[in-house]
Structure 1
Amino acid sequence: MTRSPGTPLPPPKARRRLREAASLTQTQLADRMGVTRATVRTWESGRTTPRGRKREAYAELLKTLAEQESAAAKPAPVPVVVAVRTGPGSPAEDTDSLVLPAKALPTEEQQERRPEPMPEPVPEPEPVALTPAQAFDALYEFGTPALVRQTFLLTGRRELARESVERAFQTAWENWPEVARDPDPVGWVRAVAYEYALSPWQRFRPRHRHPEPPPADPGDRTLLNTLLRLPPRHRRTLLLYDGVGLDLPETAAETEASTPATANRLLNARRAMAGRLPELADPEVLHRRLAEVASNERLRAAKPPTVRVGSERRARFRTRAAIAFTVALIGTTALALRTAPTHYEPPVSPGETVRGVPPKVAPGALSDEELELRQKLRDQLQDGPERLTPRLE
């Protein structure tokens, strides 16, 4: 989710001040930018920033409003002409000048109408370089409360919401160089938290099989149950657009879907919500009710150092597990090479039944010739026949 930096924009408070100085409402500014009022509200609150052409157009508009404010703050100079009469006895009787321009003291009415002098610009303090741990802690403190409430609306479970946000920040700490350069680090963490919370493997965990106590307020309980009946993709799209306040392209990019598909999901989700709760047909009312339901719950989260330590512990565990697996694989390979045969040994063929051989005859009495042959063999040398014994000639 790393993006290249775009056109620089003033701080969120300065954006709102420039719009109010130009006597523009959020609706009028949204019409000029071609976006919704909720998008302008998120731009001025700092939760999101425009990208691409919208960012360039918004920066140009703010620059124009700033120039108009500067031009209106400067008082127009009023030339004052004083007529000087010349005559006998006047100091200027020998001169040919009759009228001389001069500056007169302002009257009381002019003093009342004169605008107050502009205060001298205070030099902005130089940015203090933060360490990675300090920057991570600041991001965690800023984004955790809202992300936990959003994840609770997404899943309906308090512990799962807390665990998802903490796991997302642990992943962000492991990839901190990438997250620190991202234009929207909170959006980076939000995407990881939503993916972890909506993972289908969560249903197999024993701690998440039992339902949690519902909200105490009946209206909040009905709204949360209606929201949880939506498909996960529709629920996430509705929460990002009507809850967080992202525009349609940003919602499509975060949900990894096309803009038409995201628009269809949003319309179907709104239609389902309005079918069960007609009072939520207005997007503004839906946004307000979602914020109320999330704010009524007491959701807790761990401290930033605890999250960083947990992330480092998980990284060490995975490293050690990878080293152990590699050592085991090397040992298994060495054992296989040591015990494997070095030449091919053909397998012993199975025995076959031999047919057509006459049965063995039982031994009987020897004939005279057989008795003579046996005696002859017994009388010969045991080492072989005599012809093999060397003789002297």
Structure 2
Amino acid sequence: MPVPKHVEISEISEHEYILYNNITKKHIKLGSRERNFYLYLNHHSHPFDEYLTPEQQTFLEEKFKELGFLQHDYSNLIVQKKRDLTRIPILFFNPERTLNLLSPFIHFLFNKIVLTFLGVFVITGFFIMGMFRSHWLLNISMDSLNVKNLVILYIMMVFTLVIHEFSHAITCHFLGGKVKEIGFMLFYFQFALYCNVSSIYTFKSRKDKILVSLAGIISQIILVSIAVISQYILEKLSIHQNILMYYIVLNIGLIIINLIPLVKLDGYWILTYLTGITNLRDKSFQFLLSSFIPKYKVINHSFSDFEIKVFKLYGITSTLFTLLFWGNSLYFLIQLIGKYNGFTSILVLIILVLMVFIHFIRTVRSYILFLNEKLTLLSSQTT
């Protein structure tokens, strides 16, 4: 029986492979032995003659089943998808067909002449912004933001976010990856757009992975430059308006937030590629949890000194930042609802806090289950 249709195996180096589940969006990294054992379990004409203890084989088989890599009937896998309150997809579609139609235009965008022009354009824009920064900031006042300007600004920011996500998509497509989804989601209970470019895990070049992650931010930098140069030209023509200045400030703020690696935004993925540590966030939280529970401390001995330093630094800072992020999101929602009905805002607050608490308990429970599995695997290796 062949490998299930919803499972992809990709070689990322000479002895490393990525196993990806297209239904649950889960992936795991395998060595040659584990990959060969997986093929053996699927009854491929692929012999398994490498040594794995019976305990290791049982552990791997159970893990493959748990993640849906052995199921040929994938109708049940949709139900098994993990619910993550930090990222709740609402509406999405597969853009591969669109990207294939746009392929000639995408290759044109990555032409050296076009890239050189964009580079000069960005440098020019930021040079002008540096010259007129103080003057422009003095003209910004919240009092001048009427309903009309707010609506225009909102439309401009939505357009910017669409360009941001499609920039990830076209860069991934250009470099040979697959873009599985583009859509809308609730990110910490706030509306956001997203682009699933998880196929970049199969890229062998770290530079290409970072480039895909940076593509959205680069597109925003180009849009900031367009706005700066447009503002400069309009002032020279004695056309006075402030909407572009608000847009510039908001866009730069979004770029800075996106580069913060303490939640799963672009900066996080860039950090994982720079450190070479996959699933950095989960591993850091698991490391902190195992450090406080004596029986799990032995697991941490398998990490290098560099990994331990990264886990400690990232785990502590990310925990504090995540608490602030959740708090800010809940506060924003309560303030929004509280304007209309005080009782409703209290009720919503109780429901949301309960949901976040349940999410926290489930996450900690999944970490403990993982630590128990790893402890069992380590024990089998030492016997």
Q: Give the TM-score taking structure 1 as reference length.
A: 0.21
Q: Which one has a larger percent strand, Structure 1 or Structure 2?
A: 2
Q: Give the TM-score taking structure 2 as reference length.
A: 0.21
Q: Which one has a larger percent helix, Structure 1 or Structure 2?
A: 2
Mark the structure with the bigger radius of gyration.
1
